Amino acid sequence: MKTVNVGIVGYGVVGNGVAQILEEKKELLTKKSGVQINLKKVYTRNWDKQFSYPLPEDKKASSLEELLDDREIDIIVELTGGIDFPLELFKKTAEKGKHFVTANKALLAEKGKEVFSLAEEKGIRVGFEAAVAGGIPIIRALREGLVANDIQKIYGILNGTTNYILTQMLKEGRSFQEVLREAQELGYAEADPTLDINGTDAAHKIAILSSLSFGGFIDFSGVYVEGIENIDSIDIDLGRELGYTLKLLAIAKGHNGEVEVRVHPTFLPSDHPLSKVDGVFNAVMVEGDSVGETMFYGKGAGSLPTASAVVSDIVDIAKSIALGVGREIEITSMNWQHRQLSLTRVSDFYTRYYLRFTVPDVTGILAKVAAVFARYNISIAAVIQKEKVVSFAGITDEKVVPLVILTHTASENNIQKAIKEIEEEKITVRKTVLIRVEDEEQ
Distance CA 305, CA 317 (A): 19
Rounded Cα–Cα distance for residues 365 and 367 (Å):
5
The dihedral region occupied by 270, where left means phi > 0, alpha psi between -120 and 50, and beta the remainder, is alpha
* Nearest alpha-carbon partner for 162 in 104, 201, 108: 201
Cα 166 to Cα 228: distance, rounded to the nearest angstrom: 8
Kindly list the distances between the CA atom of residue 374 and the CA atoms of 152, 329, 367, 421, in Å, as whole numbers in the listed order.
32, 58, 10, 12
For residue 286, what are the β-bridge partners?
Answer: 154, 294
129, 130, 132, 137: CA torsion to nearest 10: 50
**Which one from 98, 105, 205, 247 is the annotated catalytic residue?**
205
Active site residue 2: no
Q: Which of 205, 220, 212, 299 is nearest to 251 (CA)?
A: 205
Which residues are known to be catalytic? 205
